[in-house]
Structure 1
Amino acid sequence: MTAIEVVTAYSIALSQGDIPTTFSHFSPEAKWHQPGSHQFAGTKTGLEAIGKMLGDMMGATQGTLVIEPTGAMMVNGNLVSFPVHFTGKIGDKTVDMNGVDLFEVLDGKIVQVWLFSEDQSAEDEFWD
């Protein structure tokens, strides 16, 4: 599969809540770079650490965290840029903003993910 086909398959599985298939598109040693200065920020290495972080985010938002594509994926070699819009709620706090997820794909597997938010300080406040 090409890089864009891998990220497309990942996105479809994630949108359907199919976590086993979602994670089948990752290298076991994948790195997830979560920006900011909040409880989930930092680089997570390996499927267990990435899965725990995503599960904890869903738990913190009581399942209200939704990530939706806002445009076409763009590819440059083994990098895929994925514009997204994300929303969620924690108590009386909400997040509602755009971002870009950048994937690096090698040998048919996602090896790194970098996330970018349009307002990192607002996202930090949301997660803290």
Structure 2
Amino acid sequence: MSDAVKVVQEYFDALAAKDFAKVGGYLADGIVWHQPGANQLSGDKRGADAVNAMIGAMMEISQGSFELALTAPPMGNGDLVAAKIHFSAQRKGAVLDQDGVDLLKVADGQIVEAWLFSADQPAEDTFWG
């Protein structure tokens, strides 16, 4: 397992465990995060604080129910790692339950850039508002 794949595996393990302090340690201070869609959480986030704030908003909107897990081992190509994921959340009157792919760039043991892809972006946009 390459170092980049190991970092991504550990990041997703921490995210699945909702260990957000550990999750934050995998995000480079200068990370650029490309959140897809057309909802209140969409757009480029610059910096670990912005990404952590977005994750916090996801937990708040979903009343703490947001979950994300790998559905296959991460796949590496140099400093890029692709991860097949499944994510879900609930809130009053709405359910989010779908697959996606995250493409993460790793440098010096941290994630420095992220591109996310959702299987049903319109449904995700409706959920997040």
> TM > 0.5 between the two?
yes
What does residue range 68-87 of structure 1 map to in structure 2 within 5 Å? 68-87=69-88
The aligned length equals 128
Q: Give CA deviations for 1:38-97 in whole Å, capped at 9, x if unaligned.
A: 000001111111111100110000011111111121111111111011111121111111
User: Which residue type is aligned with residue 9 of structure 1?
Assistant: E
SS in 2 for 1:80: strand
- Matched with 2:12 is 11
- Matched with 1:124 is 125
User: Which residue type is aligned with residue 3 of structure 1?
Assistant: A
Rounded to whole Å, the distance in 1 between the matches of 2:75 and 2:14 is 19
Rounded to whole Å, the distance in 2 between the matches of 1:124 and 1:80 is 25
Aligned-CA RMSD value: 1.2
Rounded to whole Å, the distance in 1 between the matches of 2:103 and 2:74 is 10
Rounded to whole Å, the distance in 1 between the matches of 2:12 and 2:84 is 12
Rounded to whole Å, the distance in 1 between the matches of 2:20 and 2:127 is 25
Q: Give CA deviations for 1:79-126 in whole Å, capped at 9, x if unaligned.
A: 111101111112111111100011000122110111100111111111
Percent of aligned pairs sharing the same letter? 41
TM-score, structure 2 as length reference: 0.94
- Matched with 2:30 is 29
1:14 shift after superposition: 1.8
- Matched with 2:101 is 100
Q: Structure 2: which 5+ runs fail to align? A: none
